[in-house]
A and B are shown apart, each in its own frame.
Chain A
Amino acid sequence: MNPLQKNIRATSTHIARSFTRHFASKADAEVAKPYPFSKNAIILPSSPEPLPPSLLKGTAIMAHVKNTLPPPAAKELLSTLFHPSHPSALRPGSIISLTLAHAPTNFAGVLTGVRHRGPDTSFVLRNVVQRTGVEMRFFVGSPEIKDIKVLTRAGEKGTKRMRRAKLTYLRDDASKMNAISASVRKAV
């Protein structure tokens, strides 16, 4: 074989390999559209955006992870509903209803606290189910959460603003929890 040809083959495979991209999620993979003007055209997947040199040096790696790691739906939630200081962020004391992928398919309750940890942000909902208090901790980035419905927002017109970030005192206050669970049942 012509040695020049051998080099060309080697470089082309090298280029092909550098172009293979590991998609973060199935949604990203589906974005690669076929070439509309020819069926036989070979379309190499576009290379990922080059990382800025400051990032390669080591500056602001966690900020980069925070932006790129969560899927777009989770990113939307993290920047609005579960952001520490967004104007429409959920305050503790709000009543929320979730639709989940696995059992229990619906869970509603009062938001007792949000744990802000970037992509690992989680929140706790408390409700009284069949005369037993139940608390569930959900992760905002979880694909299990199909839908979040905000039934009442604490601190808005007509509702009381909670003076605590974490409402663990509700565990001992049966009367308040009964009132809350009654309103949850009415609202759902």
Chain B
Amino acid sequence: MPRTGRIREKLRWSKIYTFSCIRHPESINADAGPSLSLSLSLSLPLPGPGHSRIVRCNQPRAHKRKPLDYPTNYISTTKYNIVTFLPKAIFEQFRRVANLYFLLAACLSVTSISPFSPVSMIAPLAFVVGLSMAKEALEDWRRFVQDMKVNLRKALVHKGNGRFSNKFWHKIRVGDVVRVEKNQFFPADLLLLSSGYEDGICYVETMNLDGETNLKVKRSLEVTLPFEDDRSFKDFTATIRCEDPNPSLYTFAGNLEHERQVYALDPSQVLLRDSKLRNTSYIYGVVIFTGHDTKVMQNATESPSKRSRVEKKMDRIIYILFTVLVLVSLISSLGFAVKTKLEMPSWWYLQPQRGDNSHLYSPSTPGLSGIFHLVTALILYGYLIPISLYVSIEVVKVLQAMFINQDLQMYDEETGNPAQARTSNLNEELGQVDTILSDKTGTLTCNQMDFLKCSIAGFPYGLSSSEVEIAAAKQIASEESGGSVQNGGGIDYWENGGSGFGSSPEIELEGGITCKIEKPRKPMIRGFSFEDDRLMQGNWMSEPNPGTILLFFRILAVCHTAIPELDEETGGFTYEAESPDEGAFLVAAREFGFEFCRRTQTSVFVRERYPSSAEPIEREFKILNLLEFNSKRKRMSVVIRDENGQLLLLCKGADSIIFDRLSKNGRMYEADTSKHLNEYGEAGLRTLALAYRKLEESEYSAWNTEFLKAKTALGPDREAQLEQAADMIEKELVLVGATAVEDKLQKGVPQCIDKLAQAGLKIWVLTGDKMETAVNIGFACSLLRQGMKQIRLSPMNKELITQDANKAVKEDIQKQITNASQMIKLETDPHAAFALIIDGKALTYALEEDMKHQFLSLAVDCASVICCRVSPKQKALVTRLVKEGTGKVTLAIGDGANDVGMIQEADIGVGISGVEGMQAVMASDFSISQFRYLERLLVVHGHWCYKRIAQMICYFFYKNIAFGLTLFYFEAYTGFSGQSVYDDWYMILFNVLLTSLPVISLGVFEQDVSSEVCLQFPALYQQGAKNLFFDWYRIIGWMANGLYSSLMIFFLNIGIFFTQAFLRGGQTADMAAIGTTMFTCIICAVNMQIALTMSHFTWIQIVLVWGSIATWYLFLLAYGESSPLVSGDAFRLLVEALAPAPIFWAVTLLVAAACNLPYLIHISYQRLYNPMDHHVIQEIKYYKKDVEDQIMWTRERSKARWATKIGFTARVDAKIRQLKGKLHSKVSSLSGQTVVATPPPDVL
């Protein structure tokens, strides 16, 4: 194996870590939210129910036989397999009421009750169901391929005799020993045996499971530590007895029996499938749970089948139509019964007295005949229910999904992933979204930090500007210069190529505020975008306070828990840090000339590079103590002894915490630094303050004894003791400076959020991260800004362990919510914006039944909502609350397995693909590779799809009502006997061929406005969110139009063909002639109608609309030429009778015109006097006014924004107001500076 010759750094990490390694499992659980914290006993689990699993380590063969025959590691998420596909899929199909109805009709069609021939009933149904099933099969096949991709991943598995070789994931069995290398996923749930570190520690990234980005430490049992290379597994055996498969991620109970000794196991030895090995070169583990037994799979819930609102409404319309159908059938059968009883006896030509062994037309039993007739009528008027509607919608949606998949502007060059519509039934829902619930890490951010600025000794360094500053300056510049706009897009900073600010060099404002604007250079070094020559290349030596700067750099280089890794190719170091911030600091320190190069158990070595000497000097800093970071302390410190023997405490932490702990004479730079911190916060940067303290030897040793005592203490208050001890020394600090790190947002995220906000969407951020991080990201994404009133809901810090603690906390939260609601109510300033920030614990209470509506109404009143430290379950609960509480469409977007619940719960789930984990994508309805594609997905595709589907459905109902009702009217003329005026074939073809393609082309290709316009006028999106195109008004309008058309079609035809001859040759029209003419009228009228409905004609629509009409005539011609036994009365009808009759053509023209007259009047009037937004924009585009009058175009574009309080634009506006205010006050300059009334945000 390749491990030979590898340089391995063996470190005893447990020594460096103060808290986490010895931390009890409960404390891990406590962070994960109360819903998951289950008490766990560390005592040996009793064998009994729930703990029956036995794993024979390294003996996978033992698991091939019963009773230890556990499932393999094969996973399958498909709905069907080859055997179950047919029955299951058919069952699914006939769960749709309409399909069931048609199935019944088809069954009855073989009896004489049916008014139609069997083939005319069965053929369309078979076609429609077959197509839907084909789609279903295709989608399941895709899932299968996706599964196989995972199943066919390879892992190193012990084959015996100490040899490891690659094996497919799905072949891994319980009991296998596997070796997982760095950055690989664990193939199953493993028991950690040993790792690349001497003491069996390894780091695990569980982002896929719970979304937490910080690495988790796992630790093997002492007893398994010797098994640290391949050969040692030759004879390894052990037995694990443990709990049965269960979905709880944070618990595990079991024991390991090795060489007749029993050792207790706890969750810190278990590595879960789909988490990832980080910062550790390799681990060995034994498989405990495989495949669907793994915790992650146990957590996977079956993805619910979602249906869009439009479709649900459509169902209701179908029910209405069913009611109409039943009503019409009842009228019809009543009429039939009456006619049969009263009149039929006198119709001798029907030989009423001679029944043909049935009661279909028996005057003696009119009731029975009536009931039979009811069935006939229900089948006959079935054309009211568009059988092809579902299948047409499905076809349309698949094609729409194809367009989404093929959209190059949603294709990510970096990951090579196109957007993917994983289910196509929610396309139109994309156009109606009201609230977006977004995950943070991996969705909004790339979880990568960039060192951007710093403030040292009260001097700000770092010239790179954040995007907010650049855009604000640019906007002001354009306003100052009289509104002249470049490229016609002054407001849209982003239009001109994202960061393409390179054109404007430097803008100097009156007040002397200089903003250097240049195109941000793509950072050459990952994690380091700092640009300031004053600190680089050793120039800092000539700065005012070189000593402080030196200290600053040393704190960066020494105060951390990272380990360096030598990159053998470049000779440089990369760092494996616990958090990306730390990594960024180390990179920054390296770039400043303080390269952290080696860590031993007791020391940190830093190569310091000074301009005075060519060679770097390697210095050793002895680490005496490490006081670790946690979210409560919000700081970390190290106690070091430098080469001069000087004892120093170096500390970095949240500014508020550090500022509280400064000594009197350590506050020299406090004012300046806090000013800079505010600026950084405003620019959306994560800030940390750095400080140090010189320690006296005696003081330290006194403290150290205390600390050691605390460290070795046992029991639950050990942690508190440790904290207390740390507290004792972390005071009297001297402030050195502050850092500003940019949490790298994913490309285009602020712009996208801005656009989405302008489109009227609300954006909630739900993150598992801590509040500070979430708030920072809120700033970076412009969801928060300075001047926004932040409402923070978190439980009070009561250390009560009493029973009514819960109640007290709840009451507290209740009070906070009430107060906040009151505050919003009392707010008079219309521009005031509120932000709600709530943490997971508070959310637990807020989501309780009696409080959740109050919470929701508060949240809805706030411009932005950020929920931090929420568990996956809470994410789903919040999503459900929003979905059900507001009744609006919610969209959840996320990338990790922790987002799966929310993705499945939301109306639309969007997964971010491209990052390694696939869970979110697998559970999602749409996957995109970058958050920013959401804008195009919603504003362009969503808008289009919504309009297309809405118009399409309306039209479908129209055409089927127009057609179906003519059958009913005709019945009244046939004594309600159930005779249809049309040939069976006409009716088959009506839905399948003659009218379906144009409406499909409407559903696929219609564009009210082009994609650019959609993006430029985000307000157009509201047409969907307000459901303007599928409201009852519109639906009923279309139905009325159908009713009108049916009346026109029928009665004009009847009137015109009344009894007289219709040909010069004297022949009168028979049923076939009238039926065919009527049908021709329908075809022409409905196809003309769809042409009027469309506003966008490519050659496809033109061909399909005209083609449908032409097809009808061609069909008639061909049908007429077929054997008279097939065509019956339609034989040569067109050629011989209809075509030579001018009246036939005259009727067609008349009816087509008359049917479309009301619609034409409606749209003419509406467009003239009540135009909708897209009408006006179409006109502007049509007359090319946007080119002629660019100022108007730009102005309208800027106005076409939802008056939003969040997003980048709102923020720039606020910044402009602020800068203008400053300028103004400088000009007037008498009464001093206006003080910003709002207090600085409580950031870190």
Is the pairing of A and B real?
no
| Residues of chain A having any CB pair with chain B under 8 Å | none
| Residues of chain B having any CB pair with chain A under 8 Å | none
